[in-house]
Amino acid sequence: MRYAVFSDIHSNLEALETVLEALRKEEVGRYFCVGDIVGYAADPKACIKMIRELDCVTVCGNHDWAAADLIDYSYFNVYARAAVDWTKTQLDDPEKDYLKALPLKYEDEEITLVHGSLERPEEFDYIFAEADAARTLDLCRTKICFIGHTHSPARFTKGGRRLVNVGSVGQPRDNDPRAAYCIYDTDTGTVEIKRVKYDIRKAMNKILDAGLPEILAYRLLEGS
């Protein structure tokens, strides 16, 4: 079966709609989201609605938990903090309850999902280095684990297990502004990271109109 795995939507509805449209042509059997549905861009409510309607297995990201008041986000940078504060004003209790109920990790017979690391999922550590990836792979019980959080696609292996960072739908940071998603074929074991162009200008204008920090709009153009 073909699985769709994606992460870090960050309230970017234009990017999410474009990815889901691309996925409709991919003949995927299941959908998985590796967290951070909200934060940064201007459509938290619509993005939550879309993910809920998708019947998508979803784990929480640090921005989801911050918007649901489950973590102290005073350590976030000033722009991320401003975005969480604004996001909280946009969400009603049912959406906050949905975010609160998202698990820190997901595991079945085939795959594991965690936003940051398996070492301390609740701390949302970033995995950039091989050594950090190796510690999560040591804790992984399935042949493949998908992560997000850094907003840059990456792949690591250890002892026959694979760790795949699927990049970001709504705020890529690998100097490619196109939305990212992953297709995992459980029969062949193939992992493909794909990119699609979306209406960045429209997402930018919504961020600016909402009064969110301007940098959150302009960084979308660079994918940085």
Residues in region 106-165 near Fe ion by CB under 5 A: none
Site membership for Fe ion, residue 36 (CB under 5 A): yes
Return contacts of 198-207, CB within 8 angstroms, 24+ apart: 198/14, 198/15, 198/17, 198/18, 198/19, 199/14, 199/18, 200/14, 202/14, 203/12, 203/13, 203/14, 203/15, 203/41, 203/42, 203/170, 206/13, 206/41, 206/42, 206/43, 207/40, 207/41, 207/42
Contact string 158-197 vs Fe ion (x = CB under 5 A): ----------------------------------------
Give the shortest CB-8-to-Fe ion separation in angstroms: 4
Task: Count interface residues toward Fe ion (CB under 5 A).
Answer: 2
How many beta carbons lie within 10 A of that of residue 160, not counting itself? 7
Nearer to Fe ion, 18 or 171 (CB): 171
- Of 3, 4, 6, 8, the residue at the interface with Fe ion (CB under 5 A) is 8
Nearer to Fe ion, 8 or 14 (CB): 8
Give the shortest CB-124-to-Fe ion separation in angstroms: 9
Give the shortest CB-130-to-Fe ion separation in angstroms: 21
Point out which span in 14-22, 36-44, 83-91, 97-105 binds Fe ion (CB under 5 A).
Answer: 36-44
Give the shortest CB-77-to-Fe ion separation in angstroms: 12
Residue sitting closest to Fe ion (CB): 36
Binding site for Fe ion (CB under 5 A): 8, 36
